[in-house]
Amino acid sequence: MTALDLSSPVAVVGTGTMGQGIAQVALVAGHPVRLYDAVPDRAREAAAAIGARLDRLVEKGRLTAADRDAARARLRPADDLAELADCALVVEAVLERLDVKQELFRSLEEVVSPDCLLATNTSSLSVTAIGGALSHPGRFVGLHFFNPAPLLPLVEVVSGFATDVTSATRAYETARAWGKTPVACADTPGFIVNRIARPFYAEAFAVYEAQAADPATIDAVLRESGGFRMGAFELTDLIGQDVNESVTHSVWQSFFQDVRFTPSLAQRRLVESGRLGRKTGRGWYDHRDGAERPEPHTAEKQQPPAYVVAEGDLGPASELLAMIREAGIEVREEDEDNGTRLVLPGGGQLALADGQTSVEFRDVVYFDLALDYRGATRIALSACQDTGARTVSEATGLFQALGKDVSLIGDVPGMIVARTVARIIDLAYDAVAKGVATEEDVDTAMRLGVNYPLGPFEWSRRLGRTWACSVLDDLHQRDPSGRYAPSLALYRHSFATEKREGAS
C-alpha cells in the first residue's frame, strides 16, 4: 500500500495550534487541503494564519515564493463537513474528549467516500475506543503528530484493535511522503513516547518531594550530566503543568492505576494553584518579567585528593579512571571481584549510584550517572548525615579537578539520572515485549519525539544489559510499592544475559 497521491485532498478538522500545524505539513507536501472547524469563521482565521507562516518560510529562504503561492491556492476553508466529501484523508485535531471525537467521526462517515482514510491526532485517548463508534473502523488510524507539527519529525502511527493493516500502512507511507519519520505502534495508553517518557517527569518530581534537591538543581543535573535537552521542571513549565499532568493521569488511569505511572502530588498542587508554567507566568519557576531564574546548587571549591584507590573498573563510569590520571591524581588499582568504587585518602568511598543509599554504609558518597563523563559539566553527589565531612570534601574536590560543577543532593536511592534512565529502559523493554512497537521504533520515537540523547535500547547497550535491572532491584528493596520492580521483560533480558556470560 503506497502513500496518498498528491492530487488527493486532505482535510483537517479542528484548527487550533496542532490542527494548523498538520494542515501546513500536508499543504507544503503538495496536497489540496480543506480546513474545517465547528466554530464559525475559525477555519478562515486558521487559513490566514497558515498563509502568514508560509510568508515567514519564504522570508527565511525555506520556501520559494512560487511554492508559497501554489500552496495558498490549494488551501481552502470549509463551512460544512459536506465540503470534505472528496477527501482521501481526514485528520481530526479537536478537543480531547472521547464523546466529541466519536460524534465527529460518525458524522464524517456519512459524508466521505468508503475508501477515505480517517485519522485522529489524539495523544491520550484510545484509538480503538474512538474508532469503535464507526461502522467501518478498519479505515480508522491514529496519526499522532508532535507540537509544533511542521518542525518536529516524529509521527506515531497507531493501529487500533480494528484497524486494517492496509490503512495503517497507507497512513505510515503518507506520513513518510510528507517528510516525517513515522513509527508504528499498537493502541496502548500513551502510545510510545507518552508511555515511556513518564519516568523522566515522575522521578524528578519524586526527588523533589523527598526534599533531596530543588527544581533548578534537578534540572541542571538532568541537562549537564544526563545529557537531556531540558530538565523535567523547565520542560513541564513549557508544556503546561495542566497538560503534562493530564497526560500522566490519563496513562495512569488507562493502566488501571498502575503504580509505575502514579501522578505527582506536588504537580497536582501546582495545577490546583493555577501555576501552569510559562502560559500563566508561574509554574515551578517564576517566568514573569524581571524574575530571576534560581541557580542550581553548586558546591564551593574543595581540594582534590592526592590519590584514589580504584577497586574494580567502575562499570559504566570506567572512563573516570583515565580522566583522574589526566588531572594529575594518582590512581592505585586493586583487583576486586565485585569492586566498582573508589577509596579516598581519608578512608571514605565513592561509588556510582546503584539504587542503594549512603546511610546503609560507613562513609560512602554516591555519584550520579552521566551520559558522557568527559562531556558532562556537572556531577551530582549524595551523602547522608553520617557521611564524614572529609569524604564529602575529597569527593567534591575530585570531580572539581575534572572540570565539573558539583551539586550535593540528599541521600535518595538511584539519585537523579540513574533512577530516571533505569526506569525509562525498563518501560521500553516492557512495551516491546507487549507488542507496542519494535526496539528500533522505540529508540527513534524517544530521540525524535522528546529529544532524548539516546534511545532506551541504545542506553541499555551502552550501560550493560544487566545495569538497569540491578539498579531497579535495589530501588525496589527500598521502595517495595512496585513502582521500581523490574518488568518481567527486563528481568528475562538481564537473566538470560547473565546465563550466557556465566557459560562463556
As annotated, the active-site residues are: 123, 144, 156, 194
> 144: part of which helix (H) or strand (E)?
strand 140-145
Which residue's entry shows cell 495542566?
Answer: 242
Q: Residue 339: count other Cβ atoms within 10 Å of its Cβ.
A: 18
Distance separating alpha carbons of residues 175 and 191, to the nearest angstrom:
17
Instruction: Check if the beta carbon of residue 195 is closer than 8 Å to that of residue 185.
Output: no
- Residue pair 407/296 in contact (Cβ under 8 Å)? The answer is yes
What separation in angstroms does the CA of 332 have from each of 217, 342, 353? 33, 9, 22
148 upstream amide cis, omega within 30 of 0: yes
Calculate the alpha carbon distances from 65 to 56, 61, 71 in Å: 11, 9, 10
Q: How far is CA 294 from CA 192, 330, 359, 391, in A?
A: 33, 37, 29, 28
8 Å CB contact between 339 and 311: yes
Interhelix angle 232-239/198-209, nearest 10 degrees: 120
Tell me the one-letter amino acid at 337.
D
Are 37 and 46 in contact by the 8 Å Cβ rule? The answer is yes
The C-alpha cell of 94 is what? 479537536
CA atoms within 13 A on the CB side of 75: 28
Contact between 428 and 237 under an 8 Å Cβ cutoff? The reply is no
Q: Beta-carbon neighbour count of residue 209 at 10 Å? A: 12
Question: Is there a contact between 186 and 168 (Cβ–Cβ < 8 Å)?
Answer: no
